[in-house]
Structures are given as C-alpha cells and as structure tokens.
Amino acid sequence: MTDRNDFLSREKFMAELYRYKKGSVTRRHFLGVTGLGLATSVLGTAVPGLRGAAHAQGSIGDRVVVASWPNYHDPANFDAFTAETGAAVDLNVFGSNEEMLAKLQAGGSGWDVFVPTNYTITTYVDEDLIEPLDLSMLPNYDAASFDARFADAGTVNGTVYAVPRNWGTTGFVVNTANLGGLPKPTTWKEFWDMTMAEFSGRTMVHDYQLTTIGNALKYFGYSFNSVDPAELAEAEKLLIDAKPHLFAINSDYQPSMRSGDAWMSIAWTGDGLQLHRDMPEIDYVLGKEGGELWSDFFAIPKGAPHRDAAYALINYLLAPEVNAKEVAFHGYPVADARVNAILPPEMLNDPIMYPAADLLSALEFGAAVTLTDPNRAELMARFKSA
C-alpha cells in the first residue's frame, strides 16, 4: 500500500524517468513503476500509430529541421525519435516570434517544423507561409482531448494549420537569495522599480517586443496588447529609463540566472519551473496586474523540404507518453487531457505550472495586431539601440 503508483513522489518519478532515459531500466520497468503502463496500454489500443507504424523506418528521410524555443525540448526524445525513424533532428532556437516570421518572410528557411505562438498563426496564413495540416498524417492528434482555449488559435477559417504543443504564462523569475531582506516582488510595478533600484545591473528582459513592451505597459496597468500611441509612449519612457539598469536583453536567460550574473528576468513558465527545480531559491512570479497567457503550436512551413519527417516528428511528439516526457523536461502545462491523465499529480498541482485562478484570470492572450503593429516593433528597436 505504501507503493501505490498514485503516490509515487515527483522525485521518484524523475529519478525513474532519468534511469529510463539513460537506458539503465527497461521501458516496461519504467512504465510499470510509474504507473504509465496502464495508461499507455489503454491508449495504445485507442490510438493507432502510436509507435510510428504509420511511417515505417527509413521512409521519411534521414533528417528533420525544427525551429523552436530555448530550453523547450528534451534532447532524449529527439534521440528516441531518431532511433525509431532514422531521421536526425536539427533544432534551431529563436528568441521571438518576430525572428521566426522574419526568417520565413525572407524565404528558404529550410525548416520542416516550427513552433509558432497562438497570435502569430493568422499572420502566417495571410502571408501564405504556413501549410494546412493533413490530419490523417497525425493519428496521435485527438482534437477532442484538447482544451479549446489553448487549441482554437491553430484553426483559421475552418482549416487546421497548427496543432497545440503546450501553453504557458509569462511572468518573471527572481532569485530570492539576493533580496537582502526585501519582500519578494509580486507585481510588474515592483519588477520595474526594483530593476531601477536594488536590482540595478541584475535584471534581464526578453529580446522580444511582445513580452518586454507588454510587461512595461502592465507597469501602468494598461493592456498587455495595447497599441495606443500614448500608452506605448509611456512604456517606452519606462524602458529607456530602465535600460541602463538591465543586465541584458536576451530571451535565453537561464544561463545567466544559473550563473548568478542575473537576479531577475522576465520568464516563461517552463524556464521558471526548470530554474526552481534546480535552484529552489529562484521563484517564478506572475505579476498581479496580469500579463501574457499563451499557447504554442506545431506547424509546417510552406515548402518544408522534409514534409513526411515533419509529420512524423509532430505525430511522435503528440503521443501522450512522449508528450508526458517532454512536460517532465520542460515544465510547461499541456492542454491535452490524455497527457494530464498520466502526469504525476505533483506536476498537476505545481503552482508554477498551474497558477492560482485569480492570477490566471488577470492574464491576456497576445493578439495578432500586437505582433504586426509597426509602432511596437519600432519601439522595441529604438529601446535596443538607445
């Protein structure tokens, strides 16, 4: 009774997962111990093609090129995909959706799979840069099991262009060891005020207009998505004032947070969880004023050179057992009920992954107009070159 699978501790789960990944235990042992076995055996019959049967080994080519985000994919899952299908995965990491869009607009990106965020998809459709998905090639995608709130943005005018990967929030991480008696900041106002005072030279912001400008707007209580010139002008003034106090403008803040060079940074859920997991003194905070709620998707760009491999990889990563392993690695919540059914309860109860309802309800989804607004783009560029 003490060994009930339901009560498998998170540490034990992670340890088992790690042993499984290292290959020191068999898959059967891992699934048995963690209780994933039952779930998988049920799903295995319910979901055809779970083990890549749809794409026999070798038929999809030997490579697949992915454009995604930092600290977002478990290399072990890519290795497993390669072992199963023979296609090696080349991961390219980006710091903003703008950067991805710019690369696709210039043509010939060479990507097979990319991971756009909810508010970008209509723009990709308008610009004819994204391929409508052939869902018959994604047997692991079960639309019914996804929370519509995080899945809808993938469908434009009735056509599915993107399938959900996971969702998350944009808050900030703070290394509480450096607070020196100060109370832990809980609002964006405190985030920016501390940046310009006690944490001068120690704060990072994203190299990404949407989040950096959005959270500067939050300082004044304006909408994260505001494109109002007067509100943006206030945000710009704040950003320019804060700039001399920043440690860096970079969307990959984990290395600097880990090394102790940076003490605070705008951050996404998963990075917050990964940092907190390894360094408990680092906390993830959602500003009380609100901020961003987002959902990322898998999509295939027009003219992808390895289309079959792209479908195979997306399908592979959507398999609940694989997706669960991804979640264990990256710490972002997923909208797929099948995955949540097999996640350890510790993860489902994690306050970083699933914030309290009142914090969550204050958040906004990014809007397409926020992405393409020329004034926001230019504001960010001015801020960086100031």
Judged by CB under 8 A, the residue of 76, 80, 248, 341 near another protein is: 248
Q: Give DSSP secondary structure letters for 136-149.
A: GG-TT--GGGB-HH
User: From the list 26, 46, 59, 126, which residue makes contact with another protein (rule: CB under 8 A)?
Assistant: 126
Beta carbons within 8 Å of 240's beta carbon, 6+ residues apart = 383, 386
Q: Which of residues 281-310 bind another protein (CB under 8 A)?
A: 305
Interaction of residue 381 with another protein, rule CB under 8 A: yes
The nearest distance, CB 386 to another protein, in angstroms, is 5
Give how many residues touch another protein by CB under 8 A: 53
With vertex at residue 201, the alpha carbon angle to CA 273 and CA 360, rounded to the nearest 5 degrees, is: 35
Residue among 110 and 132 whose Cβ is closer to another protein:
110
Instruction: Count CA atoms closer than 13 A to 252's CA, side-chain side.
Output: 9
State which amino acid sits at residue 331.
Answer: G
Which letter does DSSP use for residue 131 in this model? P
Q: Does 212 bind another protein (CB under 8 A)?
A: no
3-class SS shares of the chain: helix, strand, coil, % to 5 = 50, 15, 35
Contact string (CB under 8 A) for another protein, positions 216-245, x = contact: ---------------------------x--
Q: Which helix (H) or strand (E) holds 165?
A: strand 162-175
To another protein, the closest distance from the beta carbon of 201 in angstroms equals: 6
Read off the amino acid at residue 75.
Answer: P
- CA atoms of 73 and 84, how far apart (whole Å): 17
Euclidean distance between the first and the last CA atom of the chain, given in angstroms as a whole number = 63
Interacting residues with another protein between 320 and 359 (CB under 8 A): none
User: What is the smallest separation between the CB atom of 52 and another protein, expressed in angstroms?
Assistant: 20
Q: Does 260 bind another protein (CB under 8 A)?
A: yes
User: Which residue's CB is nearer to another protein, number 227 or number 377?
Assistant: 377
- In the window 133-192, what residues touch another protein (CB under 8 A)? none
Helix (DSSP H) and strand (DSSP E) numbers for the chain: 19, 12
Q: Which two tokens stand for residue 169?
A: 């929030």
Among 41, 57, 105, 349, binds another protein (CB under 8 A): 105
CB of 124 to another protein, least distance (A): 9
**CB-CB contact of 23 with 331 (8 Å):** no
3-state SS class at 381 = helix
- Region near another protein per CB under 8 A, out of 3-11, 42-50, 104-112, 162-170: 104-112
Q: Enumerate the β-bridge partners of residue 299.
A: 114, 162
Give the binding site for another protein (CB under 8 A). 62-63, 70-71, 88, 90-96, 98-99, 101-103, 105-110, 123, 126-127, 201, 207, 209, 243, 246-250, 252, 254-256, 259-261, 305, 372, 374, 377-378, 380-382, 384-386
